């Protein structure tokens, strides 16, 4: 493999990857649905045009057949007059021949219009089948487009959440939380230690008063009240 072939393949692969990255599933599904609806509309318009032509050719066929019937009737009337001696045989035969030729010409024209109409009607049968297929595809695509849109939205939200979570240092946050918990515990231990140190530095009298609850303003007031009661008695 030449270097140019390798470069071409690499470039093609990168181009395909870029296209895949740019393709949005929901938007692409909507685009496909729009194209199918556009194709359906064009097919309907084309079918209507061909149907109009077929109807026109059928009408032309019927007109030509009516004309042929009229010329056949005229040829028979000329023959009748020749037979009843109402018309000169030579002249009548000449006119009858012209009527017969006009009959054949009109009949051939009718057959030609009939073949054209039949061909167009056969084409309409094929088109009608294809139009029904497009219509079924549109219904299927509408359903699938809704599902693709919902799946794409779910995937987009899930991807955003996953990216957000992947950017969060969960282990680091929990390690910091554990460290703060340890600091809080250490502070509690220090506070308890300071309280014990404060108790150990008290004098014997202070420690006794603390245990008995003496030395407070409330106990002193109660002592004064008790003394007043004794004096009054």
pTM exceeds cut of 0.75: no
- The residues spanned by each domain of the chain are 3-168, 176-232
Q: Evaluate whether 150 touches 26 at the Cβ level (below 8 Å).
A: no
Spatial contact of 110 and 61, defined as CB atoms under 8 Å apart: yes
At the top level of CATH, which class does the domain 3-168 belong to?
A: mainly alpha
Return all residues near 228 (Cβ < 8 A) that are at least 6 apart: none
Cα distances (Å, whole numbers) of residue 105 to 59, 68, 99, 118, 175: 17, 8, 10, 20, 104
CA angle 8, 11, 12 (to 5 degrees): 85
Instruction: Give the DSSP H/E element, type plus range, for residue 168.
Output: none
pLDDT tens per residue, the chain (233 residues)?
Answer: 555 455 455 555 554 444 445 578 888 888 888 999 999 999 999 999 999 999 999 999 999 999 999 999 999 999 999 999 998 999 999 999 999 999 999 999 999 999 999 999 999 999 999 999 999 999 998 888 888 888 888 877 887 877 776 666 667 777 778 888 888 888 887 777 776 665 556 566 666 666 665 545 556 667 777 777 777 76
């Amino acid at each position: 493999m030449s270097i140019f072939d390798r470069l071409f393949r690499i470039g093609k692969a990168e181009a395909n990857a870029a296209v895949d990255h740019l393709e949005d599933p929901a938007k692409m599904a909507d685009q496909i649905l729009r194209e199918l609806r556009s194709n359906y509309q064009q097919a309907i318009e084309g079918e209507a045009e061909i149907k109009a032509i077929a109807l026109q050719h059928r009408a032309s066929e019927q007109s030509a057949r009516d004309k042929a019937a009229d010329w056949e009737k005229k040829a028979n009337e000329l023959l009748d007059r020749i037979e009843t001696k109402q018309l000169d045989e030579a002249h009548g035969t000449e006119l009858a021949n012209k009527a017969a030729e006009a009959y054949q010409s009109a009949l051939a024209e009718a057959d030609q219009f009939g073949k054209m109409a039949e061909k167009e009607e056969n084409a309409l049968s094929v088109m009608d089948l294809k139009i029904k297929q497009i219509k079924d595809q549109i219904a299927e695509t509408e359903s699938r487009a809704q599902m693709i849109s919902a799946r794409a939205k779910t995937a987009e939200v899930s991807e955003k959440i996953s990216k957000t979570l992947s950017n969060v240092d969960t282990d680091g946050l929990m390690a910091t939380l554990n460290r703060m918990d340890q600091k809080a515990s250490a502070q509690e231990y220090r506070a308890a230690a300071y309280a014990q140190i404060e108790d150990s530095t008290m004098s014997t009298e202070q420690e006794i008063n603390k245990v008995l609850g003496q030395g407070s303003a409330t106990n002193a007031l109660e002592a004064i009240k008790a003394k007043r009661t004794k004096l009054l008695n």
